[in-house]
């Protein structure tokens, strides 16, 4: 444990690379690789107590660590075990290249599994999703709770929410997905629904760079950082 704590202190303030592996047996599927800055004592907006996080250049959560997470050192990497079906490995250098990692044709299902791993790692228990593209790796599966849906939604969409903000991804044209972002707020005695759109547009290719950009935009929106979004409409 002393060795783990020393590694945590050594990483504080440093750029790190993470491998997110969310799978039933932690062997199937591919890890999601991201980078950020390690903050041993980070104060998220609206939180009184500091938490340990890995954040991106906009100080948005790539990984959030919680009290029950178990840390260990494995093959030189700091490993955080969220649950038997989800772990995060942290290195102070890039992970070795993985064959096929830059493939240009991701299926919709693979793209959604990548999004789920990244967004759940960042928002943890605050994230609501419908449906889970890999329900056997979900937190519900750990407690043998049935999923909200047994299969895809009727329009094949994937929906994420934190607080009053929600993001929906739908298949669009061939190889393209569309993001719809909706926020709810109280203005006086009225609840108002606003439709937002990323300043760079709501369409993303199903390629690793665009899916990573999609995750960044969703992370920004769910964190209520709306400076890079335009408001499309509002209704009571």
Distances in Å between the Cα of 108 and the Cα atoms of 28, 37, 120, 205 are 18, 29, 18, 10
pLDDT along the chain (236 residues), means of 10: 90 97 81 96 82 94 94 94 94 85 78 95 94 87 75 87 95 92 85 92 95 96 94 64
| Most distant CA atoms of the chain, gap in Å | 56
Record the tokens describing residue 56, joined without a space. 């991106």
Residue 100: count other Cβ atoms within 10 Å of its Cβ.
7
Record the tokens describing residue 199, joined without a space. 């300043």
Q: What is the pLDDT of residue 44?
A: 81
CA-to-CA distance for 30 and 166, rounded, in angstroms?
Answer: 26
Bridge partners, 210 (sequence order): none
Q: What is the pLDDT of residue 77?
A: 94
Complete domains list, the chain, with CATH: 2-91 (2.30.29), 108-235 (no CATH)
CA dihedral defined by 108, 141, 65, 118, rounded to 10 degrees? 0
Bridge partners, 180 (sequence order): 168
Residues 6+ apart with CB under 8 A from 168: 157, 158, 159, 160, 179, 180, 181, 182
CA-to-CA distance for 79 and 157, rounded, in angstroms?
Answer: 32
Record the tokens describing residue 8, joined without a space. 């945590």
Q: Are strands 203-205 and 77-83 parallel, antiparallel or unpaired?
A: unpaired
Residue 127 has φ and ψ, to the nearest 5°, of -85, 130
Q: What is the pLDDT of residue 189?
A: 80
């Amino acid at each position: 444990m002393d060795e783990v704590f020393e590694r945590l202190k050594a990483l504080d303030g440093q750029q790190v690379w993470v491998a997110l592996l969310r799978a039933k047996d932690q062997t199937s599927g591919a890890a999601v690789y991201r980078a950020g800055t390690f903050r041993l004592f980070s104060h998220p907006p609206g939180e009184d107590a500091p938490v340990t996080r890995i954040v991106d250049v906009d100080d948005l959560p790539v990984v959030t660590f919680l009290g029950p997470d178990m840390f260990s050192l494995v093959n030189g990497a700091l490993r955080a075990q969220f649950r038997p079906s989800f772990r995060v490995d942290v290195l102070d250098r890039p992970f070795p290249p993985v064959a096929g990692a830059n493939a240009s044709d991701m299926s919709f299902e693979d793209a959604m599994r990548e999004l789920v791993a990244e967004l759940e790692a960042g928002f943890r228990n605050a994230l609501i999703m419908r449906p889970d593209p890999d329900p056997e790796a979900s937190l519900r599966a750990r407690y043998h709770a049935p999923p909200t849906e047994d299969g895809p939604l009727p329009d094949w969409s994937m929906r994420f929410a934190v607080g009053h903000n929600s993001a929906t991804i739908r298949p669009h044209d061939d190889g393209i997905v569309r993001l719809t972002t909706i926020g709810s707020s109280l203005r006086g005695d009225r609840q108002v629904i606003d439709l937002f759109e990323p300043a760079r547009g709501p369409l993303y290719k199903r390629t690793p760079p665009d899916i990573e950009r999609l995750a960044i935009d969703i992370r920004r929106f769910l964190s209520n950082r709306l400076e890079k979004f335009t408001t499309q409409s509002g209704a009571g």
